[in-house]
Amino acid sequence: MTTFPLHTSYDPVAGALAPARSWLTSDAPRIDLAGDWQFRLSPAVPGTPGGHGVLGEESPTAFAGPDYDATGWDTLAVPSHWVLAEDFRHGKPIYTNVQYPFPVDPPFVPDENPTGDYRRSVDVPAAWLESGQVLLRFDGVESHARVWVNGTEVAMFTGSRLAHEVDVTEQLQAGVNTLAVRVVQWSAASYLEDQDQWWLPGIFRDVTLLHRPEGGIEDVWLTADYDPATGVGTILPEVRAAVEAFPVHLRLPELEVDVTWDSPQDVAPVEVGQVSAWSPEEPTLYEATVSGTAETITLRTGFRRVQIDGDRFLVNGRQVTFSGMNRHEVHPDRGRVFDEEFAREDLALMKRHNVNAIRTSHYPPHPRLLDLADELGFWVILECDLETHGFEAGGWVDNPSDDLRWREAYLDRMQRTLERDKNHPSIVMWSLGNESGTGTNLAAMAQWTHGRDATRPVHYEGDYAGEYTDVYSRMYASVPETESIARDDDTSVLGRDITAGDSARQRSKPFLQCEYAHAMGNGPGALDAYRELVDRYPRLHGGFIWEWRDHGLRTRTATGTEYFGYGGDFGEVVHDGNFVMDGMVLSDSTPSPGLLEFAAVEQPILLTPIGDGSAVVRNRRFIADTSDLRVRWSIEHDGRVVTEGETALVDESGAPIPAGGTGSLHLFSELPTARPGTEVTVTLAVELAEQTPWAPAGHVVARAQWQVGAPGTFGGANLPVAGRARTTVVGLGDSPAVLEGPVLTTLAGAAVRGPHVELWRAPTDNDRGTNSTNYDYADPADRTGGVMTPSLADLWTQAGLDRLVRRVVSVTADPASHTVIRRVSAAQSRAAVDVTERWSAQRDADGTVEAVLEVTMTPNTLWRDVWPRLGLHLELPTDVDGAAWFGTGPHDSYPDTATSVRLGRFSAGIDDLTVPYARPQESGHRSGLRELVLQRGGQDWLQVSADADPQGRRPGFTLSRHSAHELASAAHPHELPSPTAHHLYIDAAQHGLGSRACGPDVWPTAMLRPQARTLRLRFRAL
């Protein structure tokens, strides 16, 4: 029934597969086979016992014949995924993180196995068949393909994100030819492709028919070595070609290189003299051509040398710090189908947010992505298409990584990975794969890779003992553990069932976190703590955030409402919910506040004040000095600019500050006079002086801000506000607040409800996480196990924070004040918060009467766990549609994500004050509030002024169309109800964010333990 092994075979390929080779630009003829193909989907694999009868009386392979009548078949674009066809008419996508969506019974898969048959014709010129050979190239097919030409089966292959070239010379004829491909969704290979992403079958990358001329060049590898001591470049060439291809010429016009090799034996290294080295900051590429008697290959090469010196990872003699992202290939409409414009903007967005490195999780991307990485400048860890994570749940029993029956498949994947992409200067490390346990097959991959490419080290995080890899890599190591790894005087065992000797070996290598700071929903927190360690310890080389982009797929509800779907939205039997929505960029390409925080933490220039008008500049760049940068500075009084200027980013001698260097920068000599009590800030923005391929001139790469003459922490709140004359106490009845008994009914002429003390927030994805120990229960530095608890969201609901009730203890009123004492608690709980609300009024010098509210919130001693928030909740009219504020901004911030915000005056519409995460959750808290102006219908309505407490602490605010309870009850934004009120939260404190969805808990200093706090607010009608 079949010529080649079935889809349940261990064999990775069979038939007329050409040797793996580089993805090259050639002048040899080619035919792009993108476009509409005839397509038929079957529920099982024809010709197998489980697929008996799926085609009726039709022969299982009849469709491949030239004379087959495909009338009635659908058409499907190539490249595409059939499960993303319009209206999902060919099935739906499936999302799992770790789980296999089929029984774990390797190498077998269920009979229920969607199978797509593709057909198209192609007109082949007669000249192609007169000499040379013809290859049919597939750049990506998920997951098992069989190929026919004119009815003859020619090949079978697996490796969804890998390139395969099939020799079809003997089967072709001049003129019209019929190509047929059968793609099976589930195969033995699916056990090796359990990456955390959507399962998306189909021919999803390019298909091309290539004429390989006689005397053509089969493969080229130009290793462009750079000697950092002399600046001299050397081309180390490898040319795979028959004797008929010679003489072969190597030309690099910009370097005046023109070399001829008359025979294969003549191919030898070529010293090219002084060159500009390639790096992400200065990605200098030289165009090279390699020409033989029948073909010219064109490629761009960059000169650089990768080395490991003890525990230092060096490129061009300088230590590398990875400010990296894990990047899947995903688009909300096209899935993994490559779009160059989209990819270019994706990488430019990375550059604009100080990302300098990409780990291609967890497979080779489309080859053009790597061209863009070479051009725009990124360090790349190129990862093989391999993950077997689903075996972990069974204790790694039958894991293919340690089963010799899978050896050929493992090696085939690594060989195809390396051979396709070996010419890219951006690739500085090969990775064997991801989360596949350990075993002899992985060691064999490493051995082959070391033998094939001695210029790049080998990475694999799962090699915990360091037996076959060159760098020490971990995922989600906590801050204390990361410091332990970094220290020379620490000999503690690094866990993961390894020995003290293994630990010592790993500490002798460069260390990186291939995944850290899981960016799911609102977060991640504590990025600054990791970067501080990287700057302090040379063994640490940074890491890669998990991950770059949410994987939401655009879909619609039954009533036509569009939204971005995640696991479970497509009827999957098993799925992992919104765990696929864990990116720094939302599905619609909107940068999240987490990405802004990353950009600030990883900024290449640090500025620290020395006096009011000067700063010490530290250049954290790899190689570039500061000659391409300028500094814009301003002095602000209470958030308003009073003077500003611009200067080159140079030291006191006028010289640019070199990479890795420091210098003193003079900004101004004296400060404008400020009234007593004015908050004076100096704000700096480091900008690009000229346009780059990834950002315009004026793009900000770094910021700094400091307060001049800032008061001490304790007692600093009682300074008078600038320009405010002494106020007069007046009757509360003249104020904008109207109270009836214990209830506030009106503010500034509008009906309101509240303020109610609120402890609940809509849980973030990290609040719902249980990945790490609870740092509130055990020392975060304890790596012996810690204390695992339910998620914070569960602890909070168990404590009743989402169902608080209130009891009025007393109401005391007189013409000048109104005092309400309440107790706030939850059913079946003795834990309570005692609340005193005291309302009064005061007349300002301009005659305006303000309502003054002082709220004291005091918990009893029966609270056990941290709180999500401590503050007040006011329900406002639904025409409240925006805000302007003096505080931190422009985006939200929490105790462990405050590096990226600055003090100033900002404004935004209500929809821009929160973040539309794929799963609704807490967002929008803006801390350090001084003054807030709420708008109704675009007009100023109510001003809220917030005083600091005696410790100098200031509240934050959130303005939202939906309450915390409404957000917590919705699984998607479109499920949120139509608002009956808009919601203002003024919080004395908020709990941090952390990254416990798949990483460490909130650091203790960012936790909100139950505590007494006081809020003092003034309300003024506008």
Which residue numbers are catalytic?
Answer: 435, 515
Tokens of 362: 């967890």
- Contact (CB, 8 A) for 446 and 469: yes
Give, to the nearest 10 degrees, the angle between helix 367-376 and helix 340-352.
40
Tokens of 554: 């655009």
Cα separation, 243 vs 257, whole angstroms = 23
Angle formed at CA 928 by CA 925 and CA 933, multiple of 5 degrees: 75
Q: What are phi and psi of 584, to 5 degrees?
A: -70, -15
DSSP characters over 414-467: HHHHHHHHTT-TTEEEEE--SS----HHHHHHHHHHHHH-TTS-EE-TT-TT-S
Q: What are phi and psi of 567, to 5 degrees?
A: -55, 135
- Contact (CB, 8 A) for 891 and 878: no
- Contact (CB, 8 A) for 259 and 291: no
Cα separation, 962 vs 762, whole angstroms = 10
Give, to the nearest 10 degrees, the angle between helix 593-601 and helix 527-536.
20
Cα separation, 986 vs 944, whole angstroms = 10
Cα separation, 568 vs 59, whole angstroms = 37
Number of H helices, E strands in the chain: 10, 60
Starting at the earlier edge strand, list the strands of the sheet with 640-648. Answer: 640-648, 629-637, 680-688, 700-708
Candidates 593, 513, 582; CA nearest to 547 is 582
**8-state DSSP, 720:** P
Candidates 876, 917, 937; CA nearest to 746 is 876
Indicate the SS3 state at residue 729: strand
- Contact (CB, 8 A) for 907 and 884: yes
Cα separation, 210 vs 218, whole angstroms = 12
- Contact (CB, 8 A) for 992 and 514: no
Segment (H or E) for 180: strand 175-184
Cα separation, 875 vs 206, whole angstroms = 55
Distant-in-sequence, close-in-space partners of 107: CB < 8 Å, separation ≥ 6: 8, 9, 10, 188, 191
Look up tokens 């609270």; give the residue.
863
Cα separation, 105 vs 665, whole angstroms = 65
Cα separation, 659 vs 281, whole angstroms = 11
Q: Which amino acid is at 400?
A: P
- Contact (CB, 8 A) for 964 and 920: no
Look up tokens 């505590």; give the residue.
1011
Cα separation, 116 vs 202, whole angstroms = 7
- Contact (CB, 8 A) for 841 and 814: no
Length of the chain: 1022
The upper half-sphere exposure of residue 258, i.e. CA atoms within 13 Å in the direction of its Cβ, equals 3
Candidates 701, 729, 698; CA nearest to 351 is 701
Cα separation, 884 vs 935, whole angstroms = 8
- Contact (CB, 8 A) for 957 and 915: no
Tokens of 831: 């834990």
Can you name the residues that pair with 149 across neighbouring β-strands?
Answer: 152, 179
